[in-house]
Amino acid sequence: MNLRNIILTRLAIIYMLMALLALAVVLKVLTIQNIKTAKWEKIADNLSNFTVKLKPTRGNICADDGNVLATSVPGYFVRIDMGASGVRKIYAQKSDSLALMLSSFFKNASVKEYKRRLDKAYREKDRGYMLTPRKINYFELQKVKNFPILRKGAFGGGRIIEQENKRVLPLGKLASRTIGTLNIGASADRSASVGNTGIEQAFEKYLAGEEGVGYRQNLSGRWLNRVEIQPKDGMDIMTTINIRYQDITESALEKQLKSSQAEWGTAILMEVKTGEVKAIANLGRVAPGRYEETYNFALGHAGCYEPGSTFKLVSLMAALDQGLVDTSDVFDTGTGMWKYGGGTIYDSDYGHGGKHGPMTVKKIFEKSSNVGVAKIITTCYGDNPEKYVNRITKMGIHKPLGVELEGEGVPYFKHPGNDDWWGTTLAWMSFGYESKMTPLQILAFYNAVANNGKMMKPYFVRQIQNKGDVVESMGPEVLNSSIASRTTIRKVRDMLVGVVEEGTGKEMKSKIIKMAGKTGTAQISTGKGGYGKGLYLASFVGYFPADDPVYSMIVTVNKPKGAYYGGAVAMPVFRETAEKVFAVFQHIDESSPEEPEIAMLPDVKNGYTRDVVRVMNELDIDYKGRKPKTELTKTVKDGEVIK
């Protein structure tokens, strides 16, 4: 055989082997796809039907002292395996009793109806018939577990208990909007709840935890969940909220809202040096005389409003810091009415006997004269309004604070040259109109004044913890190291004290604590280029104690009826909160756990010695251990038992 034939023969053999191999592969594929289809379908069915996701426990949200603000409490559903051998043996004798107990416990169907349902499930050998028409708590579960048949347990009575966690707020509505809500069934597989607002939403990835994996297995006629991958429970969020301060703030606000029949109100208490939000109350009217946390007006878009007179501090600080005016300079406020740029500016007391005429800048601020502030700013910036806008934005008030919680309202300020800048804008802007800020943004500015010019970022969360171990810590963050010079800050702090001592807030001056701040009363825009008649937003923002500020606070009341000035509506909430909070932290600062104060034992009237000694022992009172020999004790004086 020649070489050519040898090569062809070998190639033919190779081709044949390759063809056989290809044929074998095709046959194997066909076998897998067709011959063993049932087997693979069963495996796939088992994987999809018997694999279960194990839900983690959602993390807690806690106050600054560790007290729980939001937690997950287990709830339970109870099923019965009607195909279990133990159930089949005793069902006929015990089913009537079970139906009776279920009917009397849940009261949602008659005994006859319960018996009919149970019999149907028994005939169909339902392996997981639901007995509880609603989720029950732990104590209810203990009772249900002792019902006929079920008391035999998982094996003898086919009892199946399913746990499902429920989110609860142990302290009720306290700071509930800031804590946040859950959107039930909002997860990718619609089987879990996801944070929808507040801290619940902002820290969802930490609170939610990670699902585990298990599978259902039938053992001796009873289905059990076998754990393959343990779920990882959610982490705990440690907030800055102080429970006592929150209760004080919320109670004071709610009382005022009910009194003034307002639409909504908000109050925020913040630590001056750090920016920690210690209390935040948001109450909206849900029914006449009833208020609940319906929306976070403190930082949300709905609470972003024209600040009114509280903005006068910003305007005057700009002029003072640029050396264009001083607190002793005098401006003539006339009769309390001034025509400017085609519009007319009125002081709040115009036509009501208010004293106007020439006033110093300090007095203009204390008396909250719109005319006075407008004249100051138009005199200083009338030829160059852009200089005014640039100076106030340099303070950092034109940007959102960037807090952890979502939905922060965006500040709004006009700029010269824009279509919405009118001939009246500079004057109206100077006393808090034609611009918008949220209460929290205004508070951050006043807090900076209290903090010697350093603007701190407000924050709500201190730490993220995993089973007590700190995973992440949050702390003070400086937004602007100096909003103005120390000289300017000193001057405006003196002006803020003057508002409370001599100005629009003097009627609400506290006898307990020295406060500083500014009243605000702004008309509410109708959104149609005008303002609603009789619609006002009253506010007061400031800090305390005035000489050495520890806390800053803002109170805003929307659409009060009757009195509507900030000094009459918002300041009472500020004063009550400040006095009570001051009492709390003064008590904490002055107390000494190492050397507790010991009250002197008061004089005790004559009586039996054994009775007097017994009472003192029960009250843990030191009477120096002297026990008289006589049966009668004449008196107890200065801690000693005397004959």
For the chain, domains (ranges, CATH) are 53-239 (3.90.1310.10), 243-590 (3.40.710.10), 607-642 (no CATH)
Q: Is 395 or 620 the better-scoring residue by pLDDT?
A: 395
Cα within 13 Å of Cα(310), Cβ side: 38
pLDDT at 589 (0 to 100): 59
- Average pLDDT for 452-479: 96
Mean per-residue pLDDT, 353-378: 93
For residue 332, the model assigns a pLDDT of 96
pLDDT for res 631 = 54
Q: What is the DSSP annotation of 182-251?
A: EETT-STTSSS-EE-SHHHHHTHHHHS-B-EEEEEEEETTEEEEEEEE--BPPPEEEES--HHHHHHHHH
Evaluate whether 273 touches 476 at the Cβ level (below 8 Å): yes
Does position 499 have pLDDT exceeding 60, yes or no?
Answer: yes
With a CB cutoff of 8 Å and minimum separation 6, the contacts of 142 are: none
Burial class (CB in 10 A: 0-12, 13-18, 19+), 165: middle
pLDDT at 641: 46
pLDDT-derived band of residue 37, with 50, 70 and 90 as boundaries? low
Average pLDDT value for residue range 466-490: 96
Task: Tell me how far apart the alpha carbons of residues 541 and 539 are, in angstroms, rounded to a whole number.
Answer: 7
Residues in the chain: 643
Residue 642 has pLDDT above 60, yes or no: no
**What is the model's pLDDT at position 180?**
92
Mean pLDDT of 598-626: 60
| Window from 24-33, 127-136, 288-297, 323-332 with minimum mean pLDDT | 24-33
Q: Above 90 in pLDDT, residue 267?
A: yes
Tell me which H or E stretch contains 12.
Answer: helix 3-30
* DSSP H stretches of helix in 553-640: 566-569, 571-590, 609-618
Residue labelled with tokens 């709905």: 302
Is the pLDDT at 599 greater than 50? The verdict is no
One-letter amino acid of 117: R
pLDDT attached to residue 13: 83
Looking at residue 356, what is its pLDDT? 83
Q: What is the mean pLDDT of the chain?
A: 87
Segment among 121-130, 346-355, 598-607, 634-643 with least mean pLDDT: 634-643
- Check residues 13 and 44 and name the one with the higher pLDDT: 13
**Phi and psi (nearest 5°) for 639?**
85, 5
pLDDT for residue 11? 80
Tell me if residue 355 falls in helix, strand or coil. Answer: coil
- Of 26 and 621, more confident: 26
pLDDT at 4: 73
Whole-number pLDDT of residue 189: 52
Q: Which residues pair with 470 in a beta bridge?
A: 465
Overall average pLDDT of the 486-499 stretch:
97
Q: Does residue 408 surpass a pLDDT of 50? A: yes
Give the pLDDT confidence score for residue 129 in this predicted structure.
Answer: 92
Is residue 410 predicted with pLDDT exceeding 80? yes
> pLDDT over 90 for what percent of the chain?
64
- Chain centroid to Cα 169, Å, comes to 11
Q: What is the pTM of this model?
A: 0.77
Q: Which tens digits make up the pLDDT trace of 218-257? A: 555 555 566 778 889 999 999 999 999 999 999 999 999 9
Report the pLDDT value the prediction gives residue 75, as an integer from 0 to 100: 85
Cα dist from 565 to 144, 534, 535, whole Å: 59, 11, 11
Give tens-digit pLDDT for 396-406.
999 999 999 99
CA distances from 122 to 128, 144, 158, 243 (A): 11, 19, 12, 53
CB atoms within 10 A of CB 253: 27
Q: Alpha carbon 281 to chain centroid distance?
A: 9
Residue with the bigger pLDDT between 375 and 186: it is 375
| Position 215 pLDDT exceeds 80 | no
